[in-house]
Amino acid sequence: MPGFTGLAVPGPTNMPFRIRQAMDVPLEDHRAPDFPNFTLPLFVDLKKIFKTKRGEVFIFPGSGTGGWEAAIANTLSPGDKVLASVFGQFSLLRVDLCQRFGLEVDAIDTEWGKGVPLDEYRGRLAADRGHSIKAVLVTQNETATGVTSDVGAVRRILDDLEHPAMLFVDGVSSIAAIDFRMDEWGVDLAVAGSQKGFMLPTGLSIVCASEKALAAIDKAKLPRCFFDFRDMIKANSQGYFPYTPATTLLRGLRASIDMLLEEGLDTVFARHRRLASAVRAAVEAWGLRTCAQGPVWFSDTVTAVVVPAAFNADDVIKTAYYRYQLSLGTGLNRVAGKVFRIGHLGWLNELMVLQALGGVELAMRDVGIPFTPGAGVGAAVRQLSEGVETLTIAAE
Ligand SMILES: Cc1ncc(COP(=O)(O)O)c(C=O)c1O
């Protein structure tokens, strides 16, 4: 089919040409004497994305899931107790991962459409007077439902209760797109992947560890080899890696960080918020609802749209894909068939969002979902032009 293919899934995201060009280089010697000239500043600047001065960043070949394996294996021991909550496929998978590592997980089952249950977390932590809970898990952005949770609020609970548990955050679909503050929020382990806010291909697990998490490494008894932070720290301090790094992706990461810092993180977050608000305006104008149950949970990187009960969301997704070359995110697990997801993160502007919304309208019409054609696109245009000054182009 002629024309561009639309990628409106919540990762992998659209890749900027600048990043593509940065990776279009001959393969290089990762043990070259001047390789550290490239890697050492890269580590320094990557910390700025996590907003950390005290933490340590790690870049493993892998994906977000690998980052989680690294986080758990380096800091915990079999039988350690972990507090978690499940409100979507990804928060569910983190619990599964912890269980497979032999951890004892207290997983609070939460309605899909809401996020981290702060009151329940407070209750569980307050009751844990012996401090047997070693880590608290927070999925900052649940990609399956388009729900964002308040990481800072969990830190405040831990501090109020003077509970020493480590705070682990899944930032795979939020970091570099939604505000994240490693040091300010006292996050001990944060996990990201390359294929979302970083606008890169999949292939890097990006992890940030606090001083407290680093201090836990030697006491942690879970087995680890490939993901051992200690090997990484030793090699990284010299600008190298304990095994062959994904150098091409690292070149892309350099460009990604440069782009994020040049745009300015606050501007990046504001852009995501603006584009997300346009998508939400469209959903409302279609007469549909988001899976996220209210503004407190709205995600600025992904919106899960609930289709009317008589319809199957997969039909919208298939129609968009086969007829209009537009990829939308599928409903996962409990919300399969009930929602389709519009990813709005990474290298994205107004027109790309409007293109996705137009594609959704075409597909929804084809499958017979009732709405006024153009209503969503129109609402998004109104939302996007709100507050924008009229541009006067002076005559020559
Ligand atoms: C919130 C969240 N956590 C974890 C993952 C898993 O990451 P990966 O697929 O890169 O292993 C994803 C993937 O989409 C995600 O959205």
pLDDT tens digit sequence for 61-119: 999 999 999 999 999 999 999 999 999 999 999 999 999 999 999 999 999 999 999 99
Determine the distance separating the centroid of ligand 1 and the alpha carbon of 137, expressed in angstroms.
15
Q: Cα–Cα distance between 338 and 313 in angstroms, integer?
A: 5
Mapping DSSP to helix (H, G, I), strand (E, B) and coil, where does residue 19 land?
helix
- Element (DSSP H or E) covering residue 85: strand 81-86
End-to-end CA distance of the chain: 41
Q: Cα–Cα distance between 189 and 52 in angstroms, integer?
A: 11
Q: Cα–Cα distance between 68 and 65 in angstroms, integer?
A: 5
Candidates 102, 160, 103, 175; CA nearest to 137 is: 103
pLDDT one-digit tens code per residue, 296-342: 999 999 999 999 999 999 999 999 999 999 999 999 999 999 999 99
The two tokens of residue 347 are 């290298």
Atom number, ligand 1, closest to the C-alpha of residue 66: 11
Name 329's Cβ contacts closer than 8 Å, sequence gap at least 6.
8, 9, 10, 143, 302, 304, 317, 340, 341, 342, 343
Mapping DSSP to helix (H, G, I), strand (E, B) and coil, where does residue 23 land?
helix
Name 215's Cβ contacts closer than 8 Å, sequence gap at least 6.
none
Candidates 9, 60, 65: which one to mutate for ligand 1, based on the most atoms within 8 Å of Cβ?
65
Q: Residue 127 CB: number of other CB atoms within 10 A?
A: 10
Indicate the pTM of the whole model. 0.97
**Which residues sit with their C-beta closer than 6 Å to ligand 1?**
11, 63-65, 90, 139, 141, 143, 170, 172-173, 193
pLDDT one-digit tens code per residue, 126-155: 999 999 999 999 999 999 999 999 999 999
